Every structure is written in C-alpha cells, then in structure tokens.
Structure 1
C-alpha cells in the first residue's frame, strides 16, 4: 500500500487528531530525551484506546510497517526512538491517559498505559494511598513506559520494581489481537503469566495498553536525612542497622558522594546538605503508616537514636535530619536533579547492578581507575538493591570506550549486570551479545519470533539478532 493510502487508513481508525505526519510536528517524537538518538517515521500514531491500538497494529502487521511504542519519551537507552531501517511509525500513547478505576478497598488502580506516573500518584493520594514508584522523571514518564522497562527507582528497597506493583495488564499483540488480564487477581496459576513476560520486554512482544496496579497505604510519618559515612564499605552495616531499628521502614538509601553533590549544586544553585563534604553521602528516608510514629518516641526518634549509635561506632561521621517538609523536598530535589546535572557536562551514565557485597570493592577500584584517566566519577546509586548509576564525565571519546569496556568486564566478573532498570534499547544491544549467555539469548529470540513472527514490534532493540 502506498504511504498516502496507509496514512488515510490510519486516519480512518483514529480520526485526524490521531495521525501526525508533518515533519515539524513529528520532531519531538523522533529524538530521545538524551539527544543521542534520532529516528525516522512516516507518521506518529496517537490512538485513544485499546480498540484503536488493535486496529492500527493490524494495519501495520498486514503491510509490514514497523512500530515503536512511546510513552513519555523519558528513557535514556534509545528504546522508544525508531530506527531508520524500513517504513516505521511511532505509536504514541499520549492520548491514553485515563484513570479507569481506583478501588480503595482492594487497594488497586486501573489505568491506561499513557497515564503519567505523577498524575496517578496525586489521584490515589486523595484516598490515603500511594503508588510507590519513585524517580525523577515521574512528572512526565508514563505507566506503560515504566512497565515496558520494569522501572525501579529509589523505593525498590521496600516496594519492589514496577513488576512487583502490577497485578495485570491489557495488551495488543503484533497482529492486532487484544488480550486482557485486568481482574486484579493476587493468585492465578492458569498457564503462563503473560503479565510477567510483557513487563520488561520494551515493546518487543506486545503493546501494553492498560494495567491494574497495586497500591499501598500512604505514609503518615516520614523521616528524611542526609548522612556522611566513613566509606562505602560501611553502607550495608548502616542500612541494616536502620532497618533493624525501624522494623524495616527504610524506603530509600541513595548513594550520593561528594563529587556528585558538587555537580548538582553547580548545576542547580542548591546548597550542599552538610557543611563538610561527604565523600560517601547517603540520602535516607524511612516512612511509617502508623499515626503513633509521628509522636515522641516514634519514627524520627528511632532513626536519631540509631544514628547516634552508629556515630559512636565511627560508621556515620555526620548527619542532618530534615526538620520541615521544605527541607525534605530540598533534599529530594537534589536527588531528582541528578540526571540532568550529569548530562549537562556530557556525562555517560551506566545502569549497573551488583551483588550487595561487591558494591564497595567495585567503587574503590573503579573510582581510582576513572581518576587516573583524568575523568570524574559522578555516581548515584540505590544501594539497598545493588543498583549503581555509575557515571563518568566527560563521557565521550576513545578513552571512554576503553574505560567502559573495562568497567563492564569488572561488573561481569563480580557477578553483576550491565542493565538494572533503564532497559536495553539501542544503547546496550551490543552488550547483550557480549555478556549474556547464548542459550538464554536463543530462548529470547524464539519467544520474540513466536509473539511477533513478522518482526514489526520495536525492531533493532533489546534482543540482538542471531550472529
């Protein structure tokens, strides 16, 4: 079918507002957030519901048009940017933002996949609930995107990743067939779990169009602080002590060393949280749903007493606890400014995970290696779940290429992974072939062929072709 006729067929499904083909109007959909990847497409399709997604995918399947699904376009791995290898469309879910249901008794929310994360969080807050997926892009990322990458963030320590927070999905297969599992069942052993298969698949197996999500009681007592530790090797002991003291109420334990704090302050104009630089800085947050934890002897006192004991042991050198909501917001604003602060100096951001016991040795060796190369390590990490966004600035040139290879080899030797939560996309496609087991890759390719025999869903991403 000629492109003109295909565009008319798309418009017949969505109406004029659902098809964008003017180059200027498409530009924002064709370049990723980092600016590293720019693609090409014959159109951007903007359906408003699952039925339209099904009809559009059916057309693309019949005519061999590749489809890259896009949510908020906030990813940093190039996974939502089309590659210019064939006729391609971007399937944007930015018109699918309806919150379909909130069930306070069951503590679930059912939403369309284009719903912005922060919008959902604000809606469920009115019911005394929270959807505890927390990271800096929450004001623009979408639920579908977080599921496609199995996003994590700062609260994985307590609540798990996006997969743990999802009870079911509705999706459309490559040929336009819709499947739905939005009952919100906690237990269902009737065959393969397609929900878990689709979460983390980056739009290569199907297009998630809606999801039923697990909600949690909103905390009523929150203690937030910034700690200076004696070194990374002290971090696990400090975290475990705080978990023991609070009964497992630590929600965030974010590694923010001095070079990163300096970079954020230079970029944003913020003041550092401690008067003296904290070579091993930690953003800490603990939260409780018990009203009694707001009183004397409650959560803040438990944290303060624990920190006092850790200071006596020399594990914590200094600490500040937020005394107001504004001070808490200021601490989190620094954390949420991390990515843009690193990108402002052309930083390269890794997305690594390591066994908890290997984090301190990795940092010690790698920080020294980066310094010898004349670069700066600007690392942030979710220390409680082993996820390091190890970052290097400046992040270009041949020197980075050699250093990147050595760092990734070290991660593999330590039993870690090169991709924790950002996804594979285009950025790490070569690493899949280099570091993943060939048999595992073969199984993934077989799954992909079975789900999408024509290979139209997000080609050139996530799973490398067979050699």
Structure 2
C-alpha cells in the first residue's frame, strides 16, 4: 500500500518534493523544543493549493493522515507527527509568494509559507507596517501564525494574528478549496469561517493563503526600560501609560530579575542597563505619526509622573534605533537563554490584569515552598495579561531529571492557579499535543463537546492533524 500511495503521490507532485529518506525527513520530525519526535511516511512540499487539494483527496482514500507544517517553531508539538509512521507532513515552505499589496485597501495578500520577517520587509518597502512581531519572525511562517493565532509584542495596539486577518484561502478535509480572499473589513453574511480556521492548528482545514491588514509606518518610535519594585506598581504603570498615551502605546513587556539574570549568564553582552538589578524591568514602546519631539516629550512627561508617584525607581530611554533594538533583544533572548540552560517547564498563560498580582504572589509562594531552590523565569506581554511563567530546575540539579520527576505536579499546580484566577492555560502558543489532555477540564464539558462537534462536522475521517487540540 505504501509504494502504491507514493506512486500516486508522484503523479500529483514532482518526486524531488516528496522526501522519504530518513536523513531528508529528519529536520521535519522534531519540534523546536525537542520535546516531541515522530515518524512520517513522507515529507511533502507542495507549491499550490490545487496540489494540496489533490493530496488531501489521495490521503483520504488511503486513510493516511496529514500534519500541516510551517516554520516548525511552535512550542506545543502542534506540527509534529506521531510515532505511527502512517502520516505525511505537509510543509508549506514552497508556498511563499506575496500575491498583492493593495495600497488603497491597506492589505497584503500572501501564501501561507511566507516568512514573517519577509512580510514585514515587503510591507515596509511600500511604506506600510505589518505589526505582527515574534521572537521567531526570521523563520516562522504566516500560515503557522494564523493556525495558532500567534500573539507577540504588538498585541496591545494591533491585536493577535486573528485581528490582523481579513480573509483566508483554505483546503478543507474534503479536498475542496474555499477562497475567502476578499479583504473586506465588513462582511456580515452568516458564520465567520475565517475565525473558525484561525487558531484551529490545522485540525479543521489547511490554510494556504491570507489577506492581512497593513498600517502606515510610524514616523517616530521611542523605547524605554524602567525599574519597578512590584507587580502592583507595574499594573499601575500600565494604566498610567494607557491613560496618557492611549493608542500610541505599542509595547509593554515585563521581565523579572531572575529571567534577566539567566539571560545575562548565557549572553553576557545583554546586561540590564538599569542600576541595581531591579525586581521587575519593564520595556515600553511608544510610536506615532507625529514628530519625534512630540512622542519623546510625551514619554518623558509620563515617566516624570511615574517617578513622582513612586511607581518606578529608574528609567533609561533609548537614544537611537540601535539601543532600542538592544532593549528588545534582551527581552527576546530570555527564551534562548532558557534553551541554553536546559529543558524547563513552560506555561503560556493569561490572567486578568486585576488578578495578576495575586496570581503571581500566591503561585510563586506555592512553587517555592514545594520545590525549594527552583527558579521561576517569568516574563511576558503584560499589557494583555500574557505571562510566560516558566519553571527551571534549581542550580546544580539536572534539568531533565527534575522535569521527569516534577513536570506533572508542577503543571497541575500552575493550571489549578490559572483556573482559580479565571485565566487561560494557553495565551498564544496554542494547544497542540502538549495541552490536549488538560483541555477538557479547562474548557468545560459543554465547550469541549462543541469543539468536538465542529471537528467531526468538518473532518469526519479525523484526517487533519489528529490528536492535536481535540480528539474525536
């Protein structure tokens, strides 16, 4: 059967884009965190939506499941095949064309395999901003961003990937192509199919193209680092900036001292310019279409108010673009520093801002009491309540062994606290296979059954990315 299937596959797509040798398949089979490794019958690299539609038809008739894959930078194993060896990985990296930049409509239409950074640069060349920005933007692809509804550093002003999307092209589990690439900001004609597929992690359909919003490039941009003593003051500082700067506030990132100490350990050039290693360092960015002087003065005035209100104890304003980038690199390298330190227990969670102080204080205390010496590497997009609340083994303790013994109880403790404070167990990384087991309890029986009903209706064969997000 395998040989017959591969021969039929070669009639759809050229042999050079069907990888079956072990050494060719290997880069596609392990997730970014090296947590999950699977097997695949083949890695298939299509170039068009029509090819994908034919591949879906062929897989359906042979009962072979499909794992859609983009840049393979996800944290939850959502684009990694299982161990059966009876799945194909459908990697969309060859579908990387920017189809249109509509300047009048302020939209960009592109294929799912476009790398995020390339989209940003193409938009900038036309005088526009594509605001989605992630640490992995040099390798992640827009199809994966849409499939997981990625967040990033500009959510505060521009929203998640879902908020930037105006239309999709999707290959369904029946091998049909839905073309919804209209680029309309208003289309009130029944169920919103776009929102159904965004965030579904390839379990309901394969996103092949999209129409995304563009914005005028900001003329001025100012970035600052400030020192804050506690979470309550950090939230008050956010409220102050939201009140005074309103839509000019584009970034508000919180980093604990422990997270920056770890970053400096592995990247010595990234020392915190604030004096005294404050308990919390907040990175704030304002951008606007007014003059540089206007935005700089507004930033200075707000910081002055924050000093007078004793919300902050120190501040450094970037004097040029290079220094501003250095501030952002320090924030973005926390994840890389964790990878250098060894495997850690990640929690991508959202907590209501009003409960954030209580959550962090109570959860920190519970973790430290039960696991003495543990390191809590906590940082995140505080403006939208998204924390990357990660647990690293104590100094001198082997990370893999610590995680093997303690992963389940630590996850249970953190997620119980998330439920207690009415948060979410996944803010921007998705569910994948990592959080599959706990999703039913988190969503509740009614919501979980509704999700299963949608999956059964759109993919009755369970052909697309099975055992991710929801199992049927």
Q: TM-score, normalised by structure 1?
A: 0.96
Does the alignment pair 1:399 with 2:396?
Answer: no
Partner of 2:81: 82
Does the alignment pair 1:340 with 2:336?
Answer: yes
Q: Contact conserved, 2:43 with 2:89, CA < 8 A, in 1?
A: yes
Partner of 2:56: 57
Between 169-178 and 228-237, the greater mean CA deviation after superposition: 228-237
**Secondary structure in 1 aligned to 2:380?**
strand
Give 2:307's match in structure 1, choosing from 296, 299, 311: 311
Rounded to whole Å, the distance in 1 between the matches of 2:174 and 2:180 is: 18
Q: Contact conserved, 1:342 with 1:391, CA < 8 A, in 2?
A: no
Rounded to whole Å, the distance in 2 between the matches of 1:443 and 1:402 is: 29
Q: How big is the shift at 1:369?
A: 2.8
Partner of 2:285: 285
The within-5 A match list for 1:226-375 is 226-269=225-268, 270-290=270-290, 292=291, 294-295=292-293, 298-345=294-341, 346-372=343-369, 373=371, 374-375=373-374
Does the alignment pair 1:124 with 2:131?
Answer: no
Q: Contact conserved, 2:204 with 2:458, CA < 8 A, in 1?
A: yes
Q: How big is the shift at 1:267?
A: 1.3
Partner of 2:396: none
**Secondary structure in 2 aligned to 1:365?**
helix
Considering only aligned residues, what root-mean-square deviation do their CA atoms show, in Å? 1.2
Q: Contact conserved, 1:44 with 1:92, CA < 8 A, in 2?
A: yes
**Secondary structure in 1 aligned to 2:12?**
helix
Rounded to whole Å, the distance in 2 between the matches of 1:70 and 1:302 is: 44
Aligned residues: 460
**Secondary structure in 1 aligned to 2:57?**
helix
Partner of 2:206: 207
Partner of 1:184: 183
Rounded to whole Å, the distance in 2 between the matches of 1:201 and 1:301 is: 43
**Secondary structure in 2 aligned to 1:434?**
helix
Q: Contact conserved, 2:41 with 2:85, CA < 8 A, in 1?
A: no
Partner of 1:174: 173
Q: Contact conserved, 1:67 with 1:91, CA < 8 A, in 2?
A: yes
Q: How big is the shift at 1:371?
A: 2.9
Does the alignment pair 1:411 with 2:418?
Answer: yes
Q: Deviations over 1:251-282 (max 9, x none)?
A: 11111111111111111122212121120111
Q: How big is the shift at 1:134?
A: 1.1
**Secondary structure in 1 aligned to 2:299?**
helix
Rounded to whole Å, the distance in 1 between the matches of 2:64 and 2:113 is: 22
Q: How big is the shift at 1:24?
A: 0.3
Q: Deviations over 1:213-238 (max 9, x none)?
A: 00111111111011111311112221
Partner of 1:438: 445
Rounded to whole Å, the distance in 1 between the matches of 2:118 and 2:323 is: 23
Q: How big is the shift at 1:433?
A: 2.3
Q: TM-score, normalised by structure 2?
A: 0.95
Following superposition, which runs of at least 4 residues in structure 1 exceed 4 angstroms of deviation?
Answer: none
Q: How big is the shift at 1:86?
A: 5.8
Q: Contact conserved, 2:252 with 2:382, CA < 8 A, in 1?
A: yes
Does the alignment pair 1:451 with 2:458?
Answer: yes
Give 1:420's match in structure 2, choosing from 410, 424, 427: 427
Q: How big is the shift at 1:451?
A: 0.4
Rounded to whole Å, the distance in 1 between the matches of 2:460 and 2:76 is: 25
Q: Deviations over 1:101-135 (max 9, x none)?
A: 11112110000000000000000001111111111
Unaligned runs of 5+ in 2: 394-398
**Secondary structure in 2 aligned to 1:100?**
strand
Rounded to whole Å, the distance in 1 between the matches of 2:87 and 2:242 is: 49
Rounded to whole Å, the distance in 1 between the matches of 2:252 and 2:386 is: 11
Does the alignment pair 1:460 with 2:459?
Answer: no
Rounded to whole Å, the distance in 2 between the matches of 1:328 and 1:288 is: 16
